[in-house]
Amino acid sequence: MDEIDVLGIPVPDAGLLFFAALAVHVTAGLTCVGCGAVAALARKGRARHLRFGRIYLWGLVVVWVSMAVLSVIRWRENAHLFAVGTLALAVALVGYTLRRRRPYLHIAGMGASYIALLTGFYLDNGPHLPLWERLPGWSHGVLPSLVGLPLSARAIWRRRPARTQRKATS
């Protein structure tokens, strides 16, 4: 299949529907990356956290739908990305539903979702990105977790109930 160069990244020439879905996918993905970071860094329970967290979740739904279209068009090349995207949406939905009852599971689910989102991006685009192109292929799937898991664990640790924190420090 022929490829087209878009900002240094080779894009399959798979027709107009593919390009339209890709444009939506990239826009929603960039929205998720930005809003997910703002929500993660914002004070929990405040308006900013809630607003950007909801935008992240809805953006992730759009990422998943557009990714499903892209995967149907090029299933053999994108099946693994479909699996990663489905995992990202599933753990985000679980995290969202547990936001009030189990805040630490909310953090874990949303953190895992963000890690999966970045993993899918780097698996697909890492070989074509400056600096990332020099890394071994396996690192594209592993580095987001190596960075994201400790940050998620730290956020969960900080969110523990005060009673649990007192026991841990004594």
What's the whole-number average pLDDT of the chain?
Answer: 87
**What span, in angstroms and rounded, lies between the C-alpha atoms of 86 and 3?**
26
Q: List pLDDT tens digits, range 45-71.
A: 889 999 999 999 999 999 999 999 999
* Half-sphere exposure (Cβ direction) of 121: Cα atoms closer than 13 Å: 21
**CB atoms inside a 10 Å sphere around CB 75:** 10
Task: Encode the chain in three state secondary structure.
Answer: CCEEEECCEEEECCCHHHHHHHHHHHHHHHHHHHHHHHHHHCCCCCHHHHHHHHHHHHHHHHHHHHHHHHHHHCHHHHHHHHHHHHHHHHHHHHHHHCCCCCHHHHHHHHHHHHHHHHHHHHHHHHHHCCCHHHCCHHHHHHHHHHHHHHHHHHHHHHHCCHHHHHHHHC
Per the DSSP assignment, residues forming a β-bridge with 9 are 6
Q: Say which residue, 17 or 153, is predicted with more confidence.
A: 17
**What span, in angstroms and rounded, lies between the C-alpha atoms of 84 and 89?**
9
**What span, in angstroms and rounded, lies between the C-alpha atoms of 144 and 76?**
24
- The pLDDT score that the predictor gives to residue 15 is 86
Q: Say which residue, 6 or 123, is predicted with more confidence.
A: 123
- pLDDT at position 170 over 60: no
- pLDDT at position 161 over 70: no
Domain ranges within the chain, ordered by starting residue: 3-169
- pLDDT at position 121 over 70: yes
- pLDDT at position 96 over 70: yes
Which among 74, 84, 80, 57 is positioned nearest to 18, based on CA atoms?
Answer: 74
Q: List pLDDT tens digits, range 15-48.
A: 889 999 999 999 999 999 999 999 988 888 889 9
Among the ranges given (44-53, 82-91, 156-165), the one the predictor scored with the smallest mean pLDDT: 156-165
- pLDDT at position 85 over 90: yes
- The pLDDT score that the predictor gives to residue 156 is 80
Among the ranges given (33-37, 129-133, 138-142, 164-168), the one the predictor scored with the smallest mean pLDDT: 164-168
- The pLDDT score that the predictor gives to residue 100 is 85
